[in-house]
């Protein structure tokens, strides 16, 4: 229900031109994406690939893919695959997405696009050289609620944006890959990229002016704080943690009011608009929860690829590079230094 807030302007995902999709990886995000794709769109789930063929075959059966491949090369050679969803571990994104594009496939690359800004620029260069579509799967930006937020900011409903406070904390079991430095784990890439991407998307480019990092015993960032000054004059404050559950909200304040994105801001959920005196003037919510709306980004890819585009205006590669530049700046300002090579 919408009360005093704009309506989302998102096309019906089933109206998107139908493409053949391949999925590289069989982890939980690949499962969530594949399930959402089949449930809410008419896209064709052609094939999945894993280093272990039996694992790929079992995954294909569970998500309804037509076939399985025992290595990425066979997936990239599959003539019925138009787009590859790259859901391999972070440190393999540059390698896998580059190989897919060089094989003639378009790619949707799970976030983060790469390990750092240098890798992201290299991937953007491959996309330019091959003429293939390439987009980071920063799925939050494609949700209906984010279109509402974009309109609130762009139409000046909040007045002049002043400050954004962005929090994303989750607790992970000790055996989760986020604890493993050799798999590019840590709160900064897994969780922090959401906050920096959303702030950049809504407030524009900025620079990290302060940062602090608490490391874990395994050698990854357990908790990360950052402050960004945006060229627009707005400020944003960021917190990401893999050590504890937090409210995971975003609050954007302006000269005339504030907008709150409710708990688990990166997922479907509620919005609340308040006037400068704190009175509620509008609210918006959506029934779908969790990762059930991962399909919006896929529908965007299908429409753009069919139109001959090579990037998305909502998440162009330059924006993905900027997000990772902020991540790199957090490491530099906090004293962590450059990310070790993997």
Confidence of residue 29 (pLDDT cuts 50, 70, 90): very high
Kindly report whether the peptide bond that precedes residue 326 is cis, defined as omega within 30 degrees of 0.
Answer: no
* pLDDT for res 256: 93
Structural Rg of the chain based on CA atoms: 20
* pLDDT for res 2: 36
Confidence of residue 331 (pLDDT cuts 50, 70, 90): very high
* pLDDT for res 108: 99
Segments of 170-287 assigned E as strands: 206-215, 221-230, 235-241, 250-254, 257-261, 271-275, 280-284
Query: What gap in Å lies between CA 301 and CA 19, rounded to an integer?
Result: 9
Rounded percentage of the chain residues whose pLDDT exceeds 70:
99
* pLDDT for res 96: 99
Q: Which residues of 158-185 are buried (b: 16+ CB within 10 A; e: fewer)?
A: beebbebbbbbbbeeeeeeebbebebbb
Res 1 pLDDT > 60 = no
Rounded percentage of the chain residues whose pLDDT exceeds 90:
91
Q: Residue 71, SS3? A: coil
Confidence of residue 191 (pLDDT cuts 50, 70, 90): very high
* pLDDT for res 271: 95
pTM (global) more than 0.85: yes
Res 340 pLDDT > 80 = no
In tens, the pLDDT along 54-89 reads 999 999 999 999 999 999 999 999 999 999 999 999
CA separation, residue 131 to residues 98, 206, 216, 308, 309 (Å): 12, 29, 41, 10, 9
Query: What gap in Å lies between CA 239 and CA 226, rounded to an integer?
Result: 7
Q: Which residues are catalytic?
A: 111
List all residues 6 or more positions away from 192 whose beta carbon is below 8 Å from its beta carbon.
168, 221, 224, 226, 238, 240, 327, 330
* Distance of alpha carbon 17 from the chain centroid: 22
Res 45 pLDDT > 50 = yes
In tens, the pLDDT along 106-139 reads 999 999 999 999 999 999 999 999 999 999 999 9
Interval 170-180 mean pLDDT:
95
In tens, the pLDDT along 253-300 reads 999 999 999 989 999 999 999 998 878 788 988 877 789 999 999 999
């Amino acid at each position: 229900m919408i009360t005093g807030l704009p309506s989302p302007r998102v096309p019906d995902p089933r109206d998107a031109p139908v493409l053949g999709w391949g999925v590289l990886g069989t982890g939980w995000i690949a499962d969530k994406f594949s399930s959402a794709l089949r449930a809410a769109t008419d896209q064709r789930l052609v094939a999945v690939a894993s280093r272990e063929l039996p694992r790929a075959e079992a995954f294909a059966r569970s998500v309804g893919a037509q076939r399985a491949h025992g290595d990425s090369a066979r997936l990239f050679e599959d003539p019925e695959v138009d787009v590859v969803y790259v859901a391999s571990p972070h440190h393999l994104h540059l390698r896998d997405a580059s190989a897919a594009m060089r094989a003639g496939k378009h790619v949707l690359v799970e976030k983060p696009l790469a390990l750092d800004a240098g890798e992201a620029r290299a991937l953007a260069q491959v996309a330019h050289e091959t003429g293939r579509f390439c987009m980071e799967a920063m799925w939050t930006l494609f949700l209906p609620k984010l279109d509402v937020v974009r309109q609130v900011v762009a139409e000046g409903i909040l007045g002049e944006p002043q400050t954004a406070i962005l929090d994303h904390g989750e607790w992970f079991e000790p055996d989760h890959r986020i604890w493993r430095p050799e798999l590019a784990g840590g709160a900064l890439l897994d969780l922090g990229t959401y906050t920096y991407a959303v702030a950049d998307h809504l407030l524009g480019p900025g620079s990290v002016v302060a940062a602090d990092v608490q490391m874990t015993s395994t050698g990854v960032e357990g908790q990360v704080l950052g402050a960004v000054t945006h060229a627009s004059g707005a400020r944003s404050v960021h917190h990401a943690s893999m050590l504890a559950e937090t409210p995971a909200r975003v609050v954007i304040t302006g000269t005339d009011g504030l907008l709150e994105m409710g708990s688990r801001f990166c997922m479907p959920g509620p919005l609340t608009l308040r006037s400068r005196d704190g009175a509620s003037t509008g609210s918006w919510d959506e029934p779908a929860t969790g990762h059930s709306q991962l399909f919006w980004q896929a529908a965007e890819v299908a429409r753009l690829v069919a139109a001959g585009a090579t990037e998305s205006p909502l998440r162009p590669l330059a924006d993905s590079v900027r997000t990772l530049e902020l991540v790199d700046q957090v490491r530099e300002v906090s004293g962590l230094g450059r990310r070790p090579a993997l």
